[in-house]
Structure 1
Amino acid sequence: MLKLTINKKVYNLDIDPETPLLWALRDVIGLVGTKYGCGMAQCGACVVHLNGEAVRSCVTRVSRAAGKEVVTIEGLSDNNDHPLQQAWLELDVSQCGYCQAGQIMSAAVLLRENKNPTDKDINSAMEGNICRCGTYLRIHKAIQLAADIQRKGSK
């Protein structure tokens, strides 16, 4: 039995410790905001926070998450009002939307660690997140806007 804390809720899972965290989130717990993209930690669709670090849940075993804090896109904010979520909506970033949860979760770590990211900082932090629709310019602008919102004290 593995004890996981996901979005501030405790789950006791009778699951193989080698199971990727992604499948525990989606198939066992039912949190489907985190997406499967490549299964090899190369696309970023599956990014979640593990003790505040952005990790690829498709290659992170549930045993690594046991006893730690996991945050998914569903737990990023209580009312979908995180500055990134606000900026994503304001700038209509999503096209197909498939990669967006992973993009937002990666960007959230950046903005938590760097309140004034430069273009280079944003590019570096988002480098491993792939968007098949090519909304990179809107993603970049949304991160800049979210940083502005955050600095103004919205969250």
Structure 2
Amino acid sequence: MDASAVTALRRTARVVTLVAVAGTGYGCTTVAPPNAVDAAAPPPAVSFDGRYEGSVQVASSASGTDPHACETEPQISLTVKNNSFVYAQRHPRVAGTAPGLTEEKTTAVYNAAISPEGIISGTSATSGTMSGQVTGSHMSGRISGLLCGYTFSADRV
């Protein structure tokens, strides 16, 4: 082997040694930093499921509407499943007061959902709305019906 080949071989050996040393713990690593997988994981699912019991009160009535016609059962019982619930609001003082005003036709049915942030939103077939908030085991909010407005409050039991 001539001198130039030996010199070239030594240079190659130095480069290989430097690359090998640089890749073994001197800042070059392919190991993921701790918690990298945890940071990418989705947040835990929030569930507001359970039975809530409380009360509902008449808060307002449309101009020209007899406030007594707005009366409804003062107790409210809601079963939340998959962060959704149905509330059937009866109006017993209106049912039967005229032909065709059956209990079924005077009952507003609200289909509501609770977002992961605890926001309640729902609607009825008669364009009524239900809105509110769940905080911990307590929910409260407003119901805006066709002619009447209500407030409600309930606790998980």
Specify if TM > 0.5.
Answer: no
Output the TM-score relative to the length of structure 2.
0.22
Bigger relative CO (Cα 8 Å, ≥ 6 apart): 1
Q: Which structure features the higher share of strand residues?
A: 2
Output the TM-score relative to the length of structure 1.
0.22
Larger radius of gyration: 2
